[in-house]
Structure 1
Amino acid sequence: MQIHTLDKAAIINELGFGTGINHAVHEGRRADFALILSMFSNDVRDNTPVEKVDDIDTTEQALRKRFELQSPQPLRSDQSSYDISAQQACLFHSSGLPSAKLSHYLTPDALTYLPEDTHGLPEEVYHNLSGHQRRAMGEKEPKELMPIDLYNQLIKAQRTFQIQTQA
């Protein structure tokens, strides 16, 4: 009976014993102290207070949505960048610098205008490549490499063909 009551007591640390462990230490009762220590839980997770931590979404997209910010200024140009820059240039010539700045703050223009279809290379470097290198850069799927055991496959195919023709 007493064994089951000790199991259900859920003694995790010294706080469950009150002053019993303290008296055992001061009075020199080694057996009582050893018994009390043996009843402690040996699982660290029992001794450590664990709280559920809510995972806060702090991605850039979530923060922009929360603070009602628009999309960031693009780093590279695309086809829409040319229309935006033409509109800002027109506003600059018709209404001056404050109007062009306001337009830029509302719809930011790209930071750099790089040539298109050069696979991220500067134009002079891309045009200095050979036609084979440009074609290789334009391929979407990598070439399928020859299998390592091609020689063994060829011999096996030849032997099976010889066996089939003799039979």
Structure 2
Amino acid sequence: MQVHTLDKAAIINELQFGNGINHAVHEGRRADFALILSMFSDDVRDNTPVEVVDEVITNDTLLRQRFELQQPQPLRSDQSSYAVSAHQAKQFHDSGLSGAKLIHYLTPEPLVYLPEQTHDLPEEVYHNLSGHQRRRLADTQPRQAIPADLYNQLISAQRHDQMRVQV
């Protein structure tokens, strides 16, 4: 047998030899056994069956659309939450607890009603802050730091002003 024929054979495991390897072991033919083993592929990926698994992208939004579910219950309130809560209270007064539960399951109200415009602080903490601290919380743009050469700029401005006055 020629070498190129053996390369094209793509011998991967002992199943491709049939009983040849079994006879070599039982009859004590070490040379045949060594030759057969040397022809096996040494790449693990050849010996192990590998399936390509397609990764399915699932997220909360896709699952809600697929199963036609409502939006999740909001964690905190906003301006629209008060109308939902009022509608739920009206439904409770009109048709009792079962009607209120039904409305809650259709359009759930938020878990907590936090005060608005307090920068996620409790109301008593926010009102205990000084005006300067409240203003600092309201600033959305970061404050610019004082330039490193401020002293030199002030001195040179003062000198230019003195020169203008003397001329």
Give the shorter-chain TM-score range: 0.7 to 0.9
How far has the Cα of 1:93 moved from its partner?
A: 2.5
C-alpha distance in 2 between matches for 1:128 and 1:93: 38
Cα distance change of structure 1 residues 14 and 108 upon mapping to structure 2, 3 Å threshold: same
- Percent identity of equivalent pairs: 73
Aligned length: 148
Structure 1: which amino acid aligns with 2:2?
A: Q
C-alpha separation in 2, matches of 1:144 and 1:17: 78
1:96 aligns with 2:96: yes
CA distance in structure 2 between the aligned counterparts of 1:145 and 1:11, rounded to whole angstroms: 72
| Backbone CA RMSD of aligned residues | 2.6
Task: Write the deviation string for residues 64-88 of structure 1: whole angstroms up to 9, x where unpaired.
Answer: 2222111111111111101101111
SS in 1 for 2:46: helix
- Runs of at least 5 residues in structure 2 that lack an aligned partner in the other structure: 150-167
Using the alignment, how far apart are the partners of 1:141 and 1:121 within structure 2?
Answer: 20
**2:66 counterpart residue number:** 66
* Counterpart amino acid of residue 10 in structure 1: A
User: How is 1:17-166 mapped onto 2 (pairs within 5 angstroms)?
Assistant: 17-140=17-140
Q: CA deviation at 1:48?
A: 0.9
Q: Which has the larger radius of gyration?
A: 2
Length-normalised TM-score, structure 2:
0.74
Name the aligned partner's letter for residue 97 of structure 1: L
Give the AA of the match of 2:88. Q
Deviation at 1:92, TM superposition (A): 2.1
**1:90 CA displacement:** 2.0
Deviation digits for residues 127-156 of structure 1 (CA, Å, limit 9, x no counterpart) = 33445544454454556789xxx89xxxxx
- CA deviation digits over 1:84-120, x for unaligned, max 9? 0111122223333332222111111111101122332
| Residue type at the aligned position of 2:4 | H
TM norm structure 1: 0.74
Distance change in 2, residues 1:2/1:81 (3 Å)? same
Which residue number in structure 2 is paired with residue 4 of structure 1? 4
Cα distance in 1 for residues equivalent to 2:76 and 2:19: 71
Determine the structure 1 residue equivalent to 2:165. Answer: none
Deviation at 1:3, TM superposition (A): 0.9
Q: 1:37 to 1:115 in 2, by over 3 A?
A: same
Structure 1: runs of 5+ lacking an equivalent? 152-167
Alpha-carbon separation, structure 1, partners of 2:123 and 2:38? 76
